[in-house]
Structure 1
Amino acid sequence: MTRTRMPGWVAAILGGVALILVWWIFALTVFTPAEGTTFTPVPTPAAVFDWLFVKGNIAGTWSVFGPTLAAAGLGYLWGNGIALLLATIVLLFPKTETVITQVAVVTYCLPIVAIGGISIVVLGGAKNPGDPSATAIFLAALVCVFTTVVGALLGFRAADKAALDVVHVYGGGRWMQLRKVRIIAALPSILNALQIAVPTAFLGAVLGEYLGAITAGVGPTLIRLQGQLDSAGVWSVFLLCAVFALAAYGLMGLLIRLVTPWVAGETGKAA
């Protein structure tokens, strides 16, 4: 007897419904308002829906998320570009591996809150209201470096040795091996690292805005809502952050399937 496998989209819907139910139960039973107050630390899904759609706050979503997405995008490009450049330098000049690997590890281990405070002093916030924050761009770039450096190096080293020997026999050097063999072999690992860096860059940008003295973006919006004890607003912004991050992560996953169909098991489709 064969067992029918549940489609992925059905499992995703059921999981989302179960998560909402658990959230609702905890909001009504565990996270109730303190005695003598009306403040609810964890609002119900209905309260979040009311804040977003009934009160119409969803209409101002882009004005809140626009600067943050711009900062995350710029930081993503800078951070991953630097990481790929460092990985390439290691391949062309192997003696630099120890130094570059240590630099990547340091960027991962540094306390981002402390670095954020320093970057505010050095870089400042946004030049004009509504512009992406320089601190947010820097932190978004910083948190991408380690993952992409490691992913690129692992991918470059996964190249077939026989193919590398063929290039060497025909007079090709390390640069030729990189262009003809290593980049193709490393593409799945690099793209996976770039996909992981998408939500990471968004988180870095939000933290940069939260620490920086700016007036537009997710960070200052959260500060304002927290000051007003608007838990429904805070949770709504949190959920919208998750939606934006998941959407960008999913789009990057779709790009990976299109660019590397042999990894996704779609070689036949590509042919």
Structure 2
Amino acid sequence: MTTLAVPGTGTAGRRLRVPSWVPGAVGLGAFILLWWLVGAFGTIGTAAGGASAIPTPFAVAAQMLDDGFSFYWRNISVTLTAAATGFAVGNLLAVLTASLVLIAPWLENIATQLAVITYCLPLIAIGPVVYAVGGQPMTANVLAGLSVYFVTVVTTIQGLKSADKAGLDVITVAGGNRFDQLRKVQLIGAIPYVLTALKIAAPASVLGAILGEYVGGITRGLGPAMVAAQGNNVERLWALAIVGVIVAGIAYAVIAVVGRYATPWTRR
């Protein structure tokens, strides 16, 4: 529930409790209304044939219905496959890197600098290089993996460092080594941090995969579909973009739900 302060005669006024989804719904409604106004009356840019570059929400919805579910799923499935591969490999390497830092602390600066380098790389620029080396679908996979590596490395290192000191001392007193501390205390304590990183990484992997598809080499996927639509069908272009946002949002929501039930001790 969300609490809103309402001016009243009392010192603190009255408080109105509304469901937590109401502010988001109001914001979404305002956005759609503004979108419709700009699309219906605005003159922001022109697309092929002189049509407005910003179609109305109704025109985009009509285009989605005309294209049908099979058209969008045919492209989404390719993008999701690349995003899932990059998400899995990129995050696995990130967690392994963070774990090595705890086993060998002198590696922290190297690991952090490597993560920063992957974050600073312009994906759209290195895409053609990756494509020249491995072609597709390697390009989409690699760009999706690079998109998630930085945030997972940094967040996981922070989570591993936040382990309970008393728990670490218990392992040491019991005769355990650094690996036992990592396995029995630090990794468990880092789970909420890792899941937080994965929530951010999930939509980032979708974006990385789409950027990888823009390089070329495939005929299916959200990237190629948008390239094909931008020259002759602005409504389909917007529909594909919205579908990409929805897919990224669903990926975020799935990890958020998993995190909620996997770490019940973090709930308030």
TM-score (norm 1): 0.90
**One-letter amino acid of the counterpart of residue 71, structure 2:** G
1:255 aligns with 2:266: no
Tell me, what secondary structure is at the counterpart of 1:4? strand
1:49 aligns with 2:81: no
**One-letter amino acid of the counterpart of residue 254, structure 1:** V
Tell me, what secondary structure is at the counterpart of 1:42? coil
Q: Are the equivalent residues in 2 in contact too, given 1:135–1:212 (CA < 8 A)?
A: no
Counterpart residue number, 2:200: 196
Deviations 1:141-172 (A, max 9, x none): 11111100001000001111122112112211
Moved over 6 A (4+): none
Counterpart residue number, 1:95: 106
**One-letter amino acid of the counterpart of residue 157, structure 1:** K
Q: Alpha-carbon deviation of 1:25?
A: 1.2
Q: Matched residues in 2 for 1:202 and 1:262: separation?
A: 30
Q: 1:189 to 1:33 in 2, by over 3 A?
A: closer
Counterpart residue number, 2:23: 11
Aligned Cα root-mean-square deviation (Å) = 1.7
Counterpart residue number, 2:115: 104
Pick the aligned partner of 2:84 from 54, 73, 87.
73
Q: Are the equivalent residues in 2 in contact too, given 1:68–1:218 (CA < 8 A)?
A: yes
1:25 aligns with 2:37: yes
**One-letter amino acid of the counterpart of residue 229, structure 2:** L
Structure 1 segments unaligned to the other structure (5+ residues)? 126-132, 266-271
Tell me, what secondary structure is at the counterpart of 2:266? coil
- 1:168-207 equivalence runs, <5 A: 168-207=172-211
Q: Matched residues in 2 for 1:58 and 1:107: separation?
A: 36
Tell me, what secondary structure is at the counterpart of 1:5? strand
Tell me, what secondary structure is at the counterpart of 2:265? coil
TM-score (norm 2): 0.91
Q: Matched residues in 2 for 1:209 and 1:152: separation?
A: 29
Percent identical pairs in the alignment equals 40
Structure 2 segments unaligned to the other structure (5+ residues)? 1-12
Q: Matched residues in 2 for 1:61 and 1:164: separation?
A: 51
